[in-house]
A = this chain, B = another copy of it.
Amino acid sequence: MSTQALLPVSERLAFYRRAANYIAVAMIYLQDNHLLEEPLKPEHIKHRLLGHWGTVPGINLVYAGLNRLILDTDASVLLVTGPGHGAPANLANLWIDGCLEDVKPEMSRDREGLGRLVRLFSWPGGFPSHIAPIVPGTIHEGGELGYALATAFGAALDNPELIVACIVGDGEAETGPTAGAWHSNKFLDPATCGAVLPILHLNGYKIANPTIFNSMSDAELTKLFEGYGWHPLLVQGEDLDGALAGALDTAYGEIRALQQAARGGSRPERPIWPMLILRSPKGWTGIRELDGVRVEGTSKSHQVPAMQARTKPEHLRALEEWLRSYGPDELFDDSGGPAAEIAAMCPTGDRRMGANPHVNGGRMRVALKLPGLEDHAVALEQPGASTDSSLGAVGKYLAQVFELNREQRNFRVVCPDEVASNRLGALFDVEDHAYEWPVDPQISPDYKPGGRIMEVLSEHNCQGWLQGYVLTGRHGIFPCYEAFIPIVDGMVNQYGKFLKMSREEAPWREPVSSLNYLLTSEGWRQDHNGYSHQMPGFINSMLNRREEHARVYVPPDANTLLATMEHCLQATGCINLIIGSKLPLPQWLSMEQAQEHVRAGASAWEWASNDDDGLPDLVLASCGTIPTIELLAAASLLKDDVPELKVRFVNVTNLFALAAPGNHPDAMSAGQFGELFTEGRPVIFNFHGYPSAVHQLIHRRPRQERFHVRGYAEEGTTTTPFDLLAMNGVDRFQLAIEALSRVDVGVSEFVRGMSGEFAVRNISGAQEAISKYREQLAEHRQYVREHGDDPPEITSWAWSGSRA
């Protein structure tokens, strides 16, 4: 046993921290002489000093403390580091314990390896200054603050032996998503799930300003977190290593006691978990004062103190003094690797936080057992002959997913209180709501500790939980109101970046399950709501994401939705946006046809076309449930009134099938596209979302001007569906008028101008039909305003079932 091992724990921890801090500082500043083997010179300093020192010493304090706890208890601990810009700290610890070397052998634990790490930090092709998927141990993109805590809970769910430590910075703590995530404790079951150990780290300052939490008194902080239902343990004072060790031991004891009680059958009414509130100075152990200004303990420590180290001698001197204050001579062995006493402070193998098996979720992932689609198919005698709720059907399917994977416990549904209202109620036949605090069992009989349906009126919590769950190798679905999913637009942006970087720069990460959104209560049928609940813009956001992982599905009926769901639950590495309707609506495809439709992405529906496999006068194309019904109704009108017109009916269920070849893996080839949409005939495209989404996608498709896209035009108020459709111009009458106007050379208003070039021939009866449709449109709108409901011709309309 070395002399170090005989020292009190505080001193050993402080010694370890000297190494971690030294390496982190070297990373921020040095491109050479990283062991300070010669006096520091300007040319040793990087040209561009980019990084964030301020949060580093606090993360190192916690990292060292958790390592000590793991060594003492052999606990399985995963660390979620909220202060996103603390990457130098995490990387320093991961170099010391060898996790970095495991995934990047060139980052070896010797002079050369450390030199590479130091140089490649904040360097082109190297490590960014924030936590990112290329940092081992990471399940959380550290750029946009606010999501660490919810992500930590997602990782702890259904991992009963795991402790997820989560550092929440006092900057991040100001965000709404974090403020709401503290309530996640009420969803975590001590019997079947692991623990989350939050460490609220108060270093007092953000980029430029003091933090709210640091301005709160100890009494306020204690009350706040007790009110949230936690047991807060304050860690502060002179001996932070010792105080932290004590608090961690207490917390660990409380966690294990709670778990043992719950697992032994004596669950407390409210499981009160411990959490730590740690006060340490910003930039602790850094430069005290420079240029007459206080640095340590202020926001001046936030990024890079002594910024002019390359050009100003006094900055260079301050930096050298700072680095030497850690005693680099004692920190490394002869080969330039970590000194034995320092390496001994780290766990080994899978017990290292950076190597915790749950972090590489793709490797832990067990594929879901999925029900046979044939068991859930909606029967179809004739297209449109019967109605069914697509969401109702998928609810039964997902219920069976729960049943088939009950033993594995690797599937969850997260939702902002809309499972039942979105007709997924079948889920409650087989699974309960997760909830730990007492609720009235008479009124809410399906609320049980250990349930796996998580409903909370916080899209941020849903998203964070699901990210943590999926990134640790499990599966889930997020059903949400279509209009409100933009609430998590920022989170999904960052998650997309995490996937992109994982795929391209962290080959050791195996693919995780896809993140599945099931958007429903779609804008076109907002019965109890109105204009504020109409918002299809998340589709447009998906178009900004990388093609490798972005998918948008708009299945037209229940069987297509079921086949799409099966596909999405099997696919890895994607963000799947599935848009479906909860209302009973006509069904169009048999399961076999639906599966073929999903494979193709877009297909012609022969039973709704009358082009007799020849060249049609125009193409009617739909994408979405209600837009498909209206366009079929328009096709029906045209068939009756203008039988001479040859129409091909196309449905698009995979929006990215429209993308130009090379722009997306699901893009149709030029040949397929031309075969479906013809090479030059007009296309009336009736779309679920904003027309701009289609405009973007068909950019660079030949003669894209012939596509006339109808969709949501931000016109809406309290309306019946017909009225809403008419306001936006996607109703059957306006579509039929549009179709005739695009084709008939006799309809003068469209012949003029650019669009006229598509008018193909004289269609007899076109003018009369247009007049008739205009009248019907006006009459129907009048009816709606008088009766407060759609006219019977609309409500009782059904597809005739016969091919023209």
8 of the cross-chain contacts (CB-CB < 8 Å) are A51-B528, A130-B529, A132-B530, A208-B417, A216-B437, A484-B490, A486-B490, A696-B696
CB of A110 within 8 Å of the partner chain: no
CB of A690 within 8 Å of the partner chain: yes
Q: Mark contacts of A522-543 with chain B using CB atoms, 8 A cut-off: 1 yes-contact digit, 0 otherwise.
A: 0000011111110101001101
In A28-60, which residues have CB < 8 Å from any B CB?
Answer: 31, 46-48, 50-52
A216's contact among B126, B206, B229, B433, by CB below 8 Å, is which?
Answer: B229
**What's the minimum C-beta distance from A51 to chain B, rounded to whole angstroms?**
7
Beyond A180-B180, A702-B754, list 7 extra A-B contacts (CB 8 Å).
A46-B788, A47-B789, A48-B720, A132-B531, A493-B535, A497-B532, A546-B714
Closest B residue to A487 by beta carbon equals B490
A393-401, A438-446, A582-590 - the one binding chain B? A438-446
CB of A257 within 8 Å of the partner chain: no
- When distances are taken between beta carbons in the complex, the residues of chain B under 8 Å from A557 are none
A140-148, A193-201, A325-333, A362-370 - the one binding chain B? A140-148
* Known contacts A438-B215, A544-B690: A458-B717 contact under CB 8 Å: no
A218-226, A247-255, A734-742 - the one binding chain B? A218-226
A210's contact among B303, B444, B787, by CB below 8 Å, is which?
Answer: B444
Contact A124 B692 (CB under 8 A): no
A167-175, A380-388, A405-413 - the one binding chain B? A167-175
Q: Mark contacts of A479-518 with chain B using CB atoms, 8 A cut-off: 1 yes-contact digit, 0 otherwise.
A: 0000110110110011011001100010000000000000
* Known contacts A143-B530, A540-B540, A717-B501: A700-B696 contact under CB 8 Å: no
A718's contact among B129, B527, B529, B717, by CB below 8 Å, is which?
Answer: B129
Q: How many copies does the complex hold?
A: 2
CB of A3 within 8 Å of the partner chain: no
CB of A123 within 8 Å of the partner chain: yes
Contact A527 B48 (CB under 8 A): yes
CB of A265 within 8 Å of the partner chain: no
Chain A interface: which size bin?
A: 35 or more
- When distances are taken between beta carbons in the complex, the residues of chain B under 8 Å from A535 are 493
Contact B788 A31 (CB under 8 A): yes
Closest B residue to A505 by beta carbon equals B717
Q: Mark contacts of A286-325 with chain B using CB atoms, 8 A cut-off: 1 yes-contact digit, 0 otherwise.
A: 0000000010011100011000000000000000000000
A418-426, A614-622, A627-635, A650-658 - the one binding chain B? A418-426
**What's the minimum C-beta distance from A307 to chain B, rounded to whole angstroms?**
11
Contact B695 A699 (CB under 8 A): yes
CB of A455 within 8 Å of the partner chain: yes
Max chain B C-beta neighbours (<10 A), residue from A127, A145, A717: A717
Q: List the 7 shortest-distance A-B pairs measured between CB atoms, nearest first.
A: A143-B532, A224-B227, A128-B530, A176-B180, A179-B179, A223-B227, A176-B176
CB of A228 within 8 Å of the partner chain: yes
**What's the minimum C-beta distance from A592 to chain B, rounded to whole angstroms?**
35
Contact B124 A784 (CB under 8 A): yes
Contact A717 B125 (CB under 8 A): yes
Contact A215 B227 (CB under 8 A): no
- When distances are taken between beta carbons in the complex, the residues of chain B under 8 Å from A794 are none
* Known contacts A144-B483, A209-B417, A700-B705: A497-B544 contact under CB 8 Å: no
Q: When chains A and B are docked, how far (Å) is the Cα of A423 from the Cα of B236?
A: 35
Q: When chains A and B are docked, how far (Å) is the Cα of A212 from the Cα of B223?
A: 18
Q: When chains A and B are docked, how far (Å) is the Cα of A527 from the Cα of B543?
A: 27
Q: When chains A and B are docked, how far (Å) is the Cα of A419 from the Cα of B206?
A: 12
Closest B residue to A419 by beta carbon equals B208
- When distances are taken between beta carbons in the complex, the residues of chain B under 8 Å from A545 are 714
**What's the minimum C-beta distance from A795 to chain B, rounded to whole angstroms?**
10
CB of A178 within 8 Å of the partner chain: yes
CB of A751 within 8 Å of the partner chain: no
Contact A437 B171 (CB under 8 A): no
CB of A181 within 8 Å of the partner chain: yes
Contact A124 B223 (CB under 8 A): no
CB of A207 within 8 Å of the partner chain: yes
Contact A418 B212 (CB under 8 A): no
Q: Mark contacts of A366-377 with chain B using CB atoms, 8 A cut-off: 1 yes-contact digit, 0 otherwise.
A: 000000000000
Contact B207 A186 (CB under 8 A): no
* Known contacts A46-B788, A48-B720, A171-B457: A541-B541 contact under CB 8 Å: yes
